[in-house]
Homo-oligomer: A and B are copies of this chain.
C-alpha cells in the first residue's frame, strides 16, 4: 500500500479519531456512531475524516476494529505470552476481568463488533475473525504448556479448550451487561478454566 505523506501532527489527529470512534462504537454501536458525533468529539472537520480515511465510515470502522484488537491483546500482556503455570493463568484472568471492569461497559470491543458487523461488512468480519483466531491461538499455546508440564490431560484438544474459554468470556460479558456486575463474566470464566487445574487440591471459595 502506497503510504500518503503524513506528518506527526496528522498521525496524532488520525489516532485521535480512531480512539474517539472506538469509544462511541463501544457505547452506542456502529449504527449509533455518526461521522458528525465523531467530528464533534474530536474537534475535527468532515474533510479531515475523509482525508485520513478515504474509504469513509467503513474504512474508519475497520481501522477501529484492528486497533481495538491490538489493544485487547496488549492489555493481556505479559501473561498472555506466559500461561505456563496455573498461577500465570490466574494472573491473566484477573488482569482481563480488570480490563473489562475498567472500561466501564460490559462489552468486548471485539465480540460486540463481531455480532454487529457479521452480516453488514464481510471485510470487517474477516478482520474481526482474524483477531479472534489470534487470541484463541495464544490461549491454546498456554494450554499446551500446561499439558507439557503434565498438569492438564494431554489428550484434550488445546484449540477446543481455548474456544470454550473465549466463549465464556464473550457470553459472560453479554450476561454481565444487564446485571451491571462482573459476576456472570467471572462465573463463566472460572467454569471454563476449571479443566486447567483439576490437579489443584483446593478451589478458592
A107 to B28, CA, bound (A): 20
Tell me the dominant secondary structure on chain A's binding face.
helix
Q: Which 9 A-B pairs have the closest CB atoms?
A: A171-B171, A167-B171, A167-B188, A170-B171, A31-B31, A129-B178, A167-B172, A164-B191, A170-B174
Give the size of the chain A interface in residues (CB under 8 angstroms).
Answer: 41
A163-B187 contact given A31-B30, A107-B115, CB 8 Å threshold = yes
A175-B187 contact given A29-B116, A112-B115, CB 8 Å threshold = no
A116-B115 contact given A163-B184, A178-B125, A187-B163, CB 8 Å threshold = yes
Q: Is the C-beta of A177 less than 8 angstroms from some C-beta in chain B? A: yes
- Residues on A close to B: CB < 8 A? 27-32, 107, 111-112, 114-116, 118-120, 125, 128-129, 132, 160, 163-164, 166-172, 174-175, 177-178, 184-185, 187-188, 191-192, 194-195
Q: For residue A118, which residues in chain B have a CB less than 8 angstroms away from its CB?
A: 107, 177
Q: Which of the residues B28, B120, B175 comes within 8 Å of A166, measured between beta carbons? A: B175
